[in-house]
Amino acid sequence: MPLLDQLYAQHNAYIAATERRGLFSRFVKPRTAPPFAHLLLHSDCEGFYLPRRLENVIFDRSVPQREGVGYMVGSAPILWEECHLLASLIDLPEGLTTQDEQLWEFADNPALEGPLWQQYGVEAYCLTVLMRAAEASSRSGAAVEFV
C-alpha cells in the first residue's frame, strides 16, 4: 500500500474512533493522533488554527453546526512543525514568501527534474502559505482562518 494511502487509512481510522460515543467510550484510552494530524485532519475550507499548542485537532460535532466555529480547530505551532518537516524533505528553501515568483512558476509548471521542491511546485506553494500563516499567527497571537 503506498505511503499516502497508509496515512489516509490511519487518519480515517482515527476519525472513526473519535466519533464513537456511548457509555463505554468514556473508559477507553483515547487514540493517539496519526502523523501530520493538524495538516491532514483539518479542513482547508473551514475552521481555525489557534496560536497555541493543541496536541489534537478539536472537532465540533454540534448539530446543527455552530455558526462561525467551523468543524475543526487545530494548532498553528504544530501545523508549522508538520509543514516544516515536509518542506525539509523536499528541500524547500528557507525564507520563501507566498509572492516569490519562483514559487508561482513551479506551482504552475512543476519541473521534471531538479530540486524536489521545484518538482513538487504545488506542494511547495501550499507548504509556504501554511508556514507563513502559522508564523504570522505566532507573532500576532491571532487565529488562522481559511476564507
Q: What is the rounded distance in angstroms from the CA atom of residue 11 to the CA atom of residue 36?
A: 9
pLDDT band for position 37 (50/70/90)? confident
- Burial of residue 26 (CB within 10 Å: 0-12, 13-18, 19+) is exposed
Regarding predicted confidence, which is higher, 51 or 6? 51
If asked whether residues 44 and 30 sit together in one domain, one would say no
Q: What is the rounded distance in angstroms from the CA atom of residue 127 to the CA atom of residue 105?
A: 15
Indicate the pTM of the whole model: 0.79
pLDDT, average across residues 4-9 = 68
C-alpha R_g of the chain: 17
Q: What is the rounded distance in angstroms from the CA atom of residue 40 to the CA atom of residue 25?
A: 24
Question: Residue 54, Cα to own-chain centre: how many angstroms?
Answer: 13
AA letter at 44: D
If asked whether residues 126 and 57 sit together in one domain, one would say yes
If asked whether residues 22 and 85 sit together in one domain, one would say no
- How high is the pLDDT of residue 145? 87
**How many folded domains does the chain comprise?**
2
- How high is the pLDDT of residue 30? 61
Q: Judge contact between 72 and 43, C-beta under 8 A.
A: yes
If asked whether residues 75 and 91 sit together in one domain, one would say yes
Residue-wise pLDDT tens digits, 74-120: 899 999 999 999 999 999 999 999 999 999 999 999 999 999 999 99
If asked whether residues 64 and 2 sit together in one domain, one would say no
If asked whether residues 48 and 84 sit together in one domain, one would say yes
Write down how long the chain is.
147
If asked whether residues 141 and 112 sit together in one domain, one would say yes
If asked whether residues 54 and 113 sit together in one domain, one would say yes
**Residue 1 lies in domain:** 1-35
If asked whether residues 26 and 57 sit together in one domain, one would say no
If asked whether residues 108 and 43 sit together in one domain, one would say yes
Residue 2 preceded by cis peptide, ω within 30? no
